[in-house]
Structure formats: structure tokens, C-alpha cells
């Protein structure tokens, strides 16, 4: 079982960690632009936060596709596997079209949500970033479906190579545009757009070379009945609501940081970026749990299901401990890599301990999410996230902010993660193992 977990987790870790590293490179490039550093980091923080808000909202395209496809794979139902791919692609295409058509009102609404004041330098930089990067939406959403489908098919290697290709292309164009052509936020936005479409082409190549027989079984999308779509949308509805809660939490974190001033916004952005790096890496075991749990639920093998859950949690906690040690010892030096502004570096020393705690308490939540997605126990995951967001994160912040200011924001994040971890653990016996 350990070999199976590592076979799935290691490619996932490599591919997952590439995602925040991509944003980390953007931050590092903007963090060494002289006196404009806090403004540019703030613009990237706001722009990235908006895309997290938008794209995380469509995260159900990957998560729902993985869980349902893994169960169809475990049940050896090739027709269902094909249908799920077709349904996902159709929903992704329509969703991307919606984002492109309504990009201007969506953008302005998102800037308002982020607390970005129109006319300020940070707003202008963030606006430039947003209206370039939005054109990557079709590639991003279609990649969500294809990667989720690959994971459901127990194939973690293809998503890994796709993300590696995206990052190589992104780094090349970011460096080209920012250093050679002296562009700033526009350069990193153009680099991201080009990289996402290269990733989509790589994904299509892998699919046609290895899984084309499933494409031949897909009916014309308009022949899908409402009954065939029903389970897809029920599972994805709950994942969508869960993801909206995630978006609300992290968006408010960025908004509160924005209102606290440029220095604290820069500090919180960098520390949150480091948290993303560890989270995405640990989530490799969450992705492994999605594939394995889905397979064993589909095969109705309770013993292997319990074993896969236990071992994925142990591997995830061991990995999080390594990140916690690194951040605890070298946290300030790592912040210095992202920003040469001395005030940002000095202020980060006060808050780096929260990063260490967040890494440790957040790890079980990420693994449990993968377990529940694989079991398609989406209702329980949704309800738990609603409790963590509205009964833990916001009350903790609003009660403590007058006493602890920015520390209260991090305390609220810790409370939110603990609620997610503990809640899903308590529900597991009734919601995961009774198949």
C-alpha cells in the first residue's frame, strides 16, 4: 500500500508544488523592483487572489471528475468513464465562455471585494494583470477536467508532466518579458497565459496518445440526458459550495491584509505563498487519497479503504513536519528571497511563527478533503466547511482583531483549519467507511 501511495503521491507532489512555485516566481520578480516593490507585490497578491477566487470556484471540475471517475474505474465501467469526461469538458467550456464574456463586470466586482480602491497605483497594476490573465480561462478550466480525469484513472504521471511543462514555459516567458523587455505585472500575466495553453496542448497530446478509445465512446454532448448529468452536478454542487467557503476565507484574508497597509499586505502575501507551497505539496497525498479511496469505494473493499486512509494521513503529517521545521528555522531568510524591502523582512519576523503552526494544523484537513472527494461524500465536506468558515474563521477574527490586529487574522486561519480537520475526522466512521 505504501508503494501505491507513493506512486500516486510523488508525481502529485511534484505537479502540485509547481503551482504555487509559479506564483512564487512572479512574487520574487516583482519583489526586486526597487521602491515599487510593496506596490507590485500588492498588485500580484490582489490579482492572484482574484484568480484564486474565480478558479477555485471551478475546482469542482477537477475534484468531482476525479472522485466519480475513480469509482467508475474501480467498478470497471468504461462507458461511465467516457461520459464523465464528456460532461466535464462541456461544463468547462461553457464556464470559460461565461468568464470571458463577463470579464469586465466580474473584474470590477472582484476588485471591490478585495478592497482595492480605484485609481490607486496598486489598483492600476492589478487591473492590468487581471485583464491579461483572464484569457487563460479556457485552458485552465479544461486542464482541471483533464487532470481530474487522469487522477481518477490512477494516472498521476500525466498531470505531473503537464504542470512541469507549464512551469518551464511560464518561467521562460516571465524572465523574458520582465527582465529582457522590462515589463512588470503585464509580463508575468502574459507568461501565465501562454504557459496555460501550452499545458492544455500537452494534456490533449497525452490523452489522444493513450486514452483515445474513451473519446470514441463519448456521445455527442447534447445527447446526454438530465439523468446522466444529475450525479455529476449533485456532487459538484456540494464541492462548489465547499469551494466558495474556501474562496471567502482566503479572499477575506487578502482583503483584511490590504486594508492593513502595503507592508502587512506584502508580509501576509509572502507568508501565505509559503503556506500554499507546503499545502500543495502535502496535498499530493490528498490527491493520492482521492484516487485510492475512490477505487476502493467503487470496488467496495472496506479493509483496503481504511488502510489507504490511515497511511495517507501518516504520510501527509510526516511531510508537513518537514516543512514546519524548514520554515521555523529559515523562514525570515526565505522571505528575503521574495522581497528586498527591509521593512517587509523585519515585519515578517513577528508573524513567521503563525506560518509554522498553519502548516502543521492544516495538513490533516487537506488529506481528509481528498478522502471525502474520493468517496464522493460531498455533503459532509460541504457542511463541515460551512461550519469552519462561518462559525470559526469569522467569529475568531472579529472578536480578536481589536486586541491582536494582524495576529487575529492568523489565529482565525488556524481556527478554520482545525475545524476542518477535526470535523471531517469525527464524521469519517459514518460517512466514509459505510459503503
Distances (CA, A) of 256 to 5, 50, 317, 410: 38, 14, 30, 11
Residue 238: what are its φ and ψ, rounded to 5°?
-70, -40
Can you give the pLDDT at residue 267?
86
The residues, any chain, with a CB within 8 Å of residue 350's CB and separated by 6 or more, are: none
Radius of gyration from C-alpha coordinates of the chain: 21
Distances (CA, A) of 202 to 13, 139, 147, 208, 424: 19, 11, 11, 10, 36
Residue 169: what are its φ and ψ, rounded to 5°?
-65, -40
What is the Cα 319 distance to its own chain's centre? 18
Global pTM value: 0.72
- Residue closest to 45 by CA, chosen among 278, 321, 271, 202: 271
Residue 154: what are its φ and ψ, rounded to 5°?
65, 25
**Residue 132 contacts residue 50 (beta carbons within 8 Å):** no
How far is it, in rounded angstroms, from Cα 296 to Cα 435? 10
Total residue length of the chain:
435
Can you give the pLDDT at residue 106?
85
Strand, helix or coil for residue 21: helix
Q: What are 249's three cell numbers?
A: 476565507
Residue-by-residue pLDDT tens, the chain, 435 positions: 777 788 777 877 776 666 666 666 666 666 655 555 566 776 777 777 777 777 777 777 777 788 778 888 877 887 788 888 888 888 899 999 999 999 988 888 877 877 676 777 677 778 888 889 899 999 999 998 998 899 888 887 898 899 889 888 988 888 888 777 877 778 888 988 999 999 999 999 999 888 887 776 665 544 555 555 666 666 677 877 888 898 889 888 988 887 787 788 888 888 988 888 888 888 889 878 888 888 888 778 888 888 989 999 999 999 999 999 999 888 788 777 776 677 888 888 899 999 999 999 999 999 999 898 888 788 898 999 999 999 999 999 999 999 998 999 999 999 999 999 999 999 888 888 876
DSSP 150-195: HHHTT--HHHHHHHHHHHHHHHHHHHIIIIIS---HHHHHHHHHHH
Can you give the pLDDT at residue 346?
84
Q: How far apart are the first and last CA of the chain?
A: 20
- Residue closest to 371 by CA, chosen among 245, 286, 298, 279: 286
Can you give the pLDDT at residue 222?
46
Over the stretch 368-410, which tens digit does the pLDDT of each residue have? 998 988 887 888 989 999 999 999 999 999 999 999 989 999 9
Looking at residue 33, the DSSP 8-state letter turns out to be S
Q: What angle do CA 350, 356, 360 make, to 5 degrees?
A: 155
Amino acid at each position: 500500500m505504501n508503494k501505491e501511495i507513493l506512486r500516486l503521491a510523488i508525481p502529485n507532489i511534484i505537479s502540485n508544488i509547481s503551482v504555487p512555485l509559479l506564483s512564487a516566481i512572479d512574487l520574487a520578480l516583482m519583489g526586486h523592483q526597487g521602491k515599487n516593490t510593496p506596490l507590485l507585490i500588492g498588485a500580484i497578491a490582489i490579482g492572484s487572489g482574484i484568480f484564486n477566487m474565480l478558479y477555485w470556484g471551478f475546482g469542482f471540475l477537477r475534484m468531482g471528475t476525479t472522485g466519480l471517475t475513480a469509482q467508475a474505474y474501480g467498478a470497471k465501467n468504461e462507458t461511465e468513464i467516457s461520459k464523465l469526461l464528456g460532461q466535464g469538458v462541456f461544463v468547462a467550456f461553457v464556464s470559460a465562455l461565461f468568464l470571458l464574456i463577463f470579464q469586465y463586470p466580474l473584474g470590477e466586482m472582484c476588485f471591490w471585494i478585495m478592497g482595492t480602491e480605484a485609481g490607486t497605483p496598486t489598483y492600476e497594476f492589478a487591473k492590468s494583470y487581471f485583464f491579461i490573465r483572464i484569457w487563460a480561462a479556457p485552458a485552465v478550466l479544461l486542464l482541471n477536467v483533464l487532470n481530474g480525469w487522469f487522477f481518477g484513472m490512477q494516472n498521476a504521471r500525466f498531470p505531473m508532466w503537464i504542470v512541469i511543462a507549464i512551469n518551464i514555459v511560464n518561467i521562460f516567458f516571465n524572465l523574458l518579458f520582465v527582465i529582457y523587455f522590462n515589463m512588470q505585472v503585464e509580463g508575468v500575466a502574459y507568461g501565465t497565459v501562454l504557459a496555460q495553453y501550452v499545458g492544455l496542448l500537452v494534456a490533449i497530446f497525452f490523452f489522444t496518445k493513450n486514452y483515445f478509445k474513451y473519446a470514441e465512446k463519448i456521445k455527442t454532448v447534447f445527447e446526454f440526458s438530465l439523468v446522466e448529468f444529475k450525479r455529476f452536478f449533485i456532487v459538484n454542487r456540494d464541492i462548489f459550495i465547499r469551494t466558495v467557503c474556501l474562496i471567502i476565507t482566503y479572499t477575506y484574508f487578502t482583503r483584511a491584509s490590504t486594508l492593513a497597509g502595503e507592508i502587512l499586505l506584502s508580509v501576509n502575501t509572502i507568508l501565505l505563498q509559503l503556506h500554499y507551497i507546503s499545502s500543495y505539496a502535502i496535498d499530493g497525498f490528498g490527491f493520492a487519497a482521492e484516487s485510492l479511496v475512490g477505487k476502493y469505494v467503487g470496488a467496495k473493499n472496506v479493509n483496503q479503504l481504511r488502510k489507504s486512509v490511515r497511511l495517507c494521513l501518516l504520510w501527509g503529517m510526516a511531510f508537513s513536519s518537514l516543512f514546519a521545521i524548514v520554515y521555523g528555522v529559515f523562514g525570515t531568510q526565505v522571505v528575503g528571497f521574495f522581497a528586498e524591502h527591509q521593512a517587509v523582512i523585519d515585519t515578517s519576523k513577528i508573524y513567521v511563527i503563525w506560518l509554522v503552526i498553519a502548516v502543521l494544523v492544516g495538513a490533516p484537513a487537506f488529506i481528509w478533503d481528498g478522502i471525502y472527494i474520493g468517496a464522493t461524500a460531498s455533503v459532509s465536506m460541504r457542511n463541515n466547511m460551512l461550519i469552519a468558515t462561518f462559525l470559526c474563521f469569522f467569529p475568531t477574527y472579529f472578536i480578536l482583531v481589536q486586541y491582536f490586529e494582524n495576529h487575529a487574522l492568523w489565529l482565525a486561519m488556524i481556527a478554520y483549519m482545525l475545524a476542518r480537520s477535526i470535523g471531517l475526522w469525527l464524521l469519517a466512521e459514518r460517512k466514509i467507511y459505510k459503503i
